[in-house]
Amino acid sequence: MTRSVTARLAALVSIVAITLAAAIPILSNAHDATPAMTVDEQIERGAQIYYSVCVACHQADGNGVAGIYLPLNNGAIPNLEDPTLFIYTVLYGRGGMPRFNGTYSDEDIAAIITFVRQEWDNNASPVTAEQVKAVRDNYSATPIVSPTPDAQIPEGKNHPEERQDPSEASPESTPGA
């Protein structure tokens, strides 16, 4: 009796193990439904977007326009080892630069930034969609105009940095969009 229960349990355990072993590749395939772009693909995609959008201000040679549009070629932010500030700038804009957080996916933003970081005289590492996602998740846009000076806001009370940006309030992307 005990013996047959043990045998059945052993059979059950091996069935579960086999099922799991079979499921793991399927699950990880599902996860990789859109495989990450290779760096070459990123550069191709990034170039497409750069030469249709960013080029208007930062110019085809990446040198910008003196006194108005900062250069991205040999630029300080584009060549930083840590891409956080670059990602933040493209997501949320800065000064006269528009924000692109509602326009492009993490993959596209990673592609644009990878392109800029490797184009012209620039020489910085590629950026992944995961890195872009991390910046989206960890930082929201800082309001450009703070209605109440920081010093006048009581501790812990609705600090402007903690308020949600109204433009972020609706879901970033609807399924299938």
Binding footprint of ligand HEC on the chain (CB under 6 A) = 53-54, 56-58, 69-70, 72, 75-78, 86, 89-90, 94-98, 100, 112, 116
Q: Are 39 and 114 in contact (CB under 8 A)?
A: yes
For ligand HEC, give the closer residue by CB, 84 or 140.
84
For ligand HEC, give the closer residue by CB, 48 or 140.
48
CB of residue 35 to ligand HEC, shortest distance in Å:
24
CB of residue 61 to ligand HEC, shortest distance in Å:
14
For ligand HEC, give the closer residue by CB, 69 or 139.
69
CB of residue 55 to ligand HEC, shortest distance in Å:
8
Q: Which amino acid, one-letter code, is at 38? A: T
Phi then psi dihedrals of residue 26, to 5 deg: -65, -45
Q: How far is CA 21 from CA 17, 24, 73, 89, in A?
A: 6, 6, 49, 44
CB of residue 57 to ligand HEC, shortest distance in Å:
3
The two tokens of residue 1 are: 């009796």
Residue count of the chain: 177
Instruction: Give the separation between CA 91 and CA 104, rounded to whole angstroms.
Output: 9
For ligand HEC, give the closer residue by CB, 95 or 147.
95
